[in-house]
Structure 1
């Protein structure tokens, strides 16, 4: 009887546990369905919100406030991007949604978490869509970033100004300039990117036509690099800036005057604001006025670009790294060119023109009436013969001083070689002590150098003279380092000279006339200069154009594909060697290997 009661108790306990287990399963299943239903309902609501937003962008005329273009332009852009094959609709998102998110980031400089709120997507999905659209846009470079051809006609903007611009600038094809974009940099590289704006930037070279369309963009150079150095790099790259035979670009005084780049007269009034109340007084000033009014196109073009896309104009630190920001700038230029053809936004252009005009005004004095007859007389009598004289004038004013620095009162102060050596040795010691911030020395370092030089050489050196001398020495160092990167050039440590053959020197000087300053000249303190300044020197290793960026992506994808195939024993390196790097050939090899394996 006791055994029966014991078995009965065990049975009841087991049955009770089983019933409780079943109840738990039912509860979990019931709540699981509720959770899934709630999640499905939330997803459905988010999809409705996204569809409503995309529908509004495709219909509402005020879509410019959100994505900087009207519905017809947005639809056209999505159609073009679909045609690249890099963007596709899928069961979760359409091309319109991906492009809208990308344009919203460019137009408002917002973070991904802001897009997550509006579009109801995860941060990973938003980031993936952003970079997919970015690559698809840069792949359109051959369609929207087109350089002038050899047989390019005279621009209408020049033909329409006969007597003032035409025929004097009839061979001009556009204008070039550099612009800065803030970037996020960490570590020792900050000093290379720190520009006169006191925060890290990229210095980007752009060329544009007079109808405000970009033709060439070189992004990625450090902000400390000089405009002329970036231009020299652009002229020697694989995807270089092309200038048709007999044509030229307009450039400001920061560039060297060459047959391909026409700069203004130095030492003369140039900017339009300087002629507001005072007409040109001589043919050279009239030339500068005409030059400035025509070159103003590149300033307008950059102004419209940055006004349209605040992500590249913001003074705050960007959300993306410097490589992505370089790609973003190129993509913005491509979208800008696309919109100038289908949706130019004249109100935005007028707003930029007004800002440029007001930014040039020195005071509120109303402009006086210009003596148009006076200016026209100059254009008829003098402008046609100014170009040769202009060439000689600029070359003369551009020549540097190698062994002296001009004093503010006039004349030159002589810098003996021993004084240069003492100055640089002291500054190197001060750098080791930590008295060099980024690219400049602290005041204490200059004070030590001034005291030592004045004591040893019995002179009256000032900080201004030291700073000016260091500029000259750094210019010489930059020339020497640029020359040593070329083939056929070497450094002789005994003579302290750069050695090269006559033909090599002639080619160097032809490409960069300032190279004549170091030809057959001793550079006794090059090692000291490199110790102090070489790490601050911009290198341009991350600079690239749209074509070069696409090529880099293709090479990266190829390497990743090879690694994957090799890991799966689908292809071996010997096959790749026989393919000589041809992607299509090695892919066929991969197919043969895979078929044999199967």
Structure 2
């Protein structure tokens, strides 16, 4: 399976072609119901969850909100229902907005004056991206959702109370109390009771304690992702992000709620929360998109692999890897395209080569 996925990025850039923004699709141009209203529309963007089986030790972030294991895949298609862009490999726990932001950072772009049909989450994300003054890898956009006013009273917390809650979460961070979907209702009742026993002057409800845990988790995820941006540093002693003013402006566009940490506000619980959530959150470690360049291999067999792949995907025509013999055909004679059988044979040969190399590498590591 790993050998198969190694060739997907190399193939996708040849088979997934972005639409031509200078042309109006015939299905739009020739239909008065759609033209001129959709003349600038290039297609549609949507996401889907693809079920999968995965090792139980790393399965937690792949479990989506419906409780099933899968990866969150973002696809873009044109009006012929051909895929023009794919972003796959994100854990099922990741939201559609986060997958879209990642795709934008990795090169997905909407040409000026054009648009795609999207749902509300994607529209909000794309709107914030267009407000960004930078279009490089850091201008990833943010997601803002209008929320109604809550009827629940807002609890007042301080640093000591937050640490006390995190300590209780660590105390219950064992398989006995925490499953792949987090802490159960009974465990939250236990945590709430212990919190009240330790702090009898605070009468937080279970819901308020759960809300604080969700808030701390969101802030940890946000800061962890922000730390990975180019030019951002983390002060280990002061437990805070450090960045130039211009970079801070961009961070606030990408992460609207990070502004509270701009004025030298520390987040001392970062490491403790990392111990709680790392391995339980979607981080996109397995993500790749159809626009990412194929990584070149420099160790044994890399040149052979690259040559074989170019031979396989070269515009549907034969691309010899050795100098061709003199031909008696005329210059204007059309070139012969590969048949499906040739393509299948080439694919099988490539996978066989990758499998053999994997076995050799495994033997070297265990030899």
> Is TM > 0.5 for Structure 1 vs Structure 2?
yes
Does 1:530 pair with 2:279? no
Corresponding residue for residue 245 of structure 2: 502
SS in 2 for 1:535: coil
Contact kept, 8 Å, 2:52 with 2:70, in 1: the verdict is yes
Corresponding residue for residue 466 of structure 1: 209
CA drift of 1:437 comes to: 0.9
The separation in 1 between residues aligned to 2:276 and 2:76, in whole angstroms, is 34
Contact kept, 8 Å, 1:251 with 1:261, in 2: the verdict is no
CA gap of 1:260–1:157, structure 2 versus 1, over 3 A, is: farther
Does 1:491 pair with 2:359? no
Does 1:417 pair with 2:285? no
SS in 1 for 2:226: helix
CA gap of 1:131–1:189, structure 2 versus 1, over 3 A, is: closer
Aligned length: 290
SS in 2 for 1:447: helix
CA drift of 1:177 comes to: 1.9
Structure 1 residue corresponding to 2:171, chosen from 425, 429, 432: 429
CA drift of 1:480 comes to: 0.2
- Deviation string 1:329-369 (CA, Å, 9 cap, x unpaired) is xxxxxxxxxxxxxxxxxxxxxxxxxxxxxxxxxxxxxxxxx
CA drift of 1:451 comes to: 1.2
- Deviation string 1:470-510 (CA, Å, 9 cap, x unpaired) is 22221111110001112221222444321111111222333
CA drift of 1:426 comes to: 0.2
Contact kept, 8 Å, 2:85 with 2:291, in 1: the verdict is no
User: Which structure carries more helix by proportion?
Assistant: 1
Does 1:190 pair with 2:59? yes
CA drift of 1:193 comes to: 1.1
Contact kept, 8 Å, 1:474 with 1:529, in 2: the verdict is yes
- Deviation string 1:543-576 (CA, Å, 9 cap, x unpaired) is 123464x824xx45x5332699xxxxxxxxxxxx
- Deviation string 1:6-58 (CA, Å, 9 cap, x unpaired) is xxxxxxxxxxxxxxxxxxxxxxxxxxxxxxxxxxxxxxxxxxxxxxxxxxxxx
The separation in 1 between residues aligned to 2:26 and 2:210, in whole angstroms, is 44
SS in 1 for 2:90: strand
TM-score relative to the length of structure 2: 0.66
Corresponding residue for residue 145 of structure 1: 16
Compare CA radii of gyration and give the structure with the larger one.
Answer: 1
Corresponding residue for residue 245 of structure 1: 112
Structure 1 residue corresponding to 2:146, chosen from 393, 397, 400: 397
SS in 1 for 2:65: coil
CA drift of 1:166 comes to: 5.2
Higher relative contact order (CA 8 A, sep 6+): 2
Residue correspondence of structure 1 range 446-595 to structure 2 within 5 A: 446-455=188-197, 456-520=199-263, 521-546=265-290, 548=292, 551-552=294-295, 555-556=296-297, 559-561=299-301
SS in 2 for 1:478: helix
Corresponding residue for residue 291 of structure 1: none
Q: Which runs of 5+ in 2 are unaligned?
A: 131-142, 305-321, 324-367
Structure 1 residue corresponding to 2:42, chosen from 147, 170, 173: 173
Contact kept, 8 Å, 1:147 with 1:242, in 2: the verdict is no
Q: Which runs of 5+ in 1 are unaligned?
A: 1-126, 263-393, 400-405, 565-586, 589-598
CA gap of 1:171–1:398, structure 2 versus 1, over 3 A, is: farther
CA drift of 1:181 comes to: 0.8
CA gap of 1:396–1:439, structure 2 versus 1, over 3 A, is: closer
